[in-house]
Structure 1
Amino acid sequence: MSKSCGLYRTTQPIGEDVPAGVLVYYHNHGDPGPGVYLPREWRNNRAQFHEEGITVPDESYADSLEPLLAEGLYRVVEPFYCCEKRCQYFEPELLVQLGYNGDAEAILFVPELIDGAIALPMEGILVDDERLVKLSALKVPESQMPNGPTPDVGAHGGTMLQ
C-alpha cells in the first residue's frame, strides 16, 4: 500500500541528494513516480517546498518515511512542557502553530493578539515529538495573499511553490 502524500522525516538517505533525518514532502503520484521534495524556504513558519522532487528508489523507501503532523494551528488539549528540561510550559486551550525545521524537529510558535489581529512570532520553541499528542488540530480556512507567489496547496495540504 502506498503512503499518503504529506510531511515526513527521512530515516534513510537517497544518495547524496537527500540525507536521513530531514523534513520532506512526500508525493505518492509524481512524474515519473513517487518522490520527496525538500524545503526551499519558510514563510510564516511553514515550509515551502521545491517544485522539483527526487524520485524515491522503490516502495520500501516510502515505507521508511516517518509521518509528521501537518503544519498549522492547534490547541493544547493537555498541559505539557516542551522537553525534559521543562523550559516552556504549554497550558490547556492555548493556541499554537506547529512548524518544523529542516531536521524535521517540531517547533511550536505561540501567536499573540495585537490590536485585534493574530500575529505569528518569528521564533518558536523546539518540542519533543512525543508531546505532540497533546495537541488538537484546528480547522482554519486558507487563502492566498494577493500579489505574492501563489502556493499550490492542493488536495494534500502540502505547499508547493508555483
Structure 2
Amino acid sequence: MAQPKSLLPECGLYLTTRALPGNEEKVPAGTLISFHNHSDSGLPTVTTPDHNIHNRWHFHGPPVTFRGLTWAETLTKLPAEGFYTLRKELSFDGGKWPKGTLVQLGYTQAGMPILFVARVRANLEENDLHFSDKGVGIKREQFSMLEAVTVYQEPADGSGHQPDHAHEH
C-alpha cells in the first residue's frame, strides 16, 4: 500500500542520514538525493546524483522506490541548488565576501554545501556572470545567511525573450 503523500516530506534535495533498507549500496548514508513523495506506482522515490554541470547535480537513472515511512523521516532537507545573496559577510580561509554578494549554492555528492561566487570577467564580449567550479565550503548551520534570488533562465530553444520564465532557486 502506498504511503499517504501528506505524511511524507515534500519533494526536493535531501541528505540521507541512514542507508535505505534493502538498497544500502545504491542509497548509502551521507548521500545527496533527489526525493519525490510520489511516482506512477504511488510509492515515494529517491535518485542519487549522476553528474554535475555548472555546479548543479543532474539526477538520472532509475529511481529507487521504497515503502518505509520511517526511513523518509530520517532525511535532512537541503536548500535548492541555485542562486542566493549573502545576508551577512562570509569569512573563510583565504578571504571574505561582503554582505549582498551573489553566490551559487551547490553540493558535493556527500551533501556538503559549497558556495561559488559570481564574477564579472574582464576582456569578454558577453556581459555574463561567471561562477567558477572551485568554491568555498560552508557548514549547513550557515544556510540561514542565504537569501534566494530570482534569476531569469533562457529557454532551451535559445529564443531568450520570454521574461515570464524567471526561475527562483
Give the corresponding residue for 1:118: 129
- Secondary structure of the corresponding residue to residue 119 of structure 1: strand
Give the corresponding residue for 2:68: 58
The residue type equivalent to 1:27 in the other structure is H
Structure 1 unaligned spans of 5+? 148-156
**Does the C-alpha gap of structure 1 residues 102 and 94 become closer, same or farther in structure 2, counting only changes over 3 Å?**
same
Is 1:74–1:98's contact at 8 Å kept on the other side of the alignment? Answer: yes
Structure 2 unaligned spans of 5+? 1-6, 159-167
The residue type equivalent to 2:100 in the other structure is E
**Does the C-alpha gap of structure 1 residues 5 and 46 become closer, same or farther in structure 2, counting only changes over 3 Å?**
same
Q: CA deviation at 1:51?
A: 3.8
Q: After the TM superposition, which segments of 4 or more aligned residues of structure 1 sit over 3 Å from their partners?
A: 143-147
Q: CA deviation at 1:10?
A: 0.2
Taking the aligned partners of 2:28 and 2:95, their CA distance within structure 1 comes to 30
Q: CA deviation at 1:36?
A: 0.6
Give the corresponding residue for 1:100: 107
With CA pairs under 8 Å and 6+ residues apart, which has the higher RCO, 1 or 2?
Answer: 1
**Does the C-alpha gap of structure 1 residues 138 and 36 become closer, same or farther in structure 2, counting only changes over 3 Å?**
same
Taking the aligned partners of 1:80 and 1:112, their CA distance within structure 2 comes to 16
The residue type equivalent to 2:29 in the other structure is A
Taking the aligned partners of 1:117 and 1:126, their CA distance within structure 2 comes to 24
Cα RMSD (Å) = 2.0
Pick from 29, 40, 44 the counterpart of residue 31 of structure 1.
40
Q: CA deviation at 1:55?
A: 1.3
Give the corresponding residue for 2:25: 16
Q: Which moved more, 1:86-95 or 1:126-135?
A: 86-95
Taking the aligned partners of 1:34 and 1:17, their CA distance within structure 2 comes to 16
The equivalences for 1:65-104 within 5 A come to 65-82=75-92, 86-104=93-111
Taking the aligned partners of 1:71 and 1:12, their CA distance within structure 2 comes to 22
Matching of residue 139 in structure 1 with residue 145 in structure 2: no
Pairs aligned (count)? 146
Q: CA deviation at 1:131?
A: 1.3
The residue type equivalent to 2:85 in the other structure is R
TM-score norm. by structure 2 comes to 0.79
Is 1:73–1:137's contact at 8 Å kept on the other side of the alignment? Answer: yes
TM-score norm. by structure 1 comes to 0.82
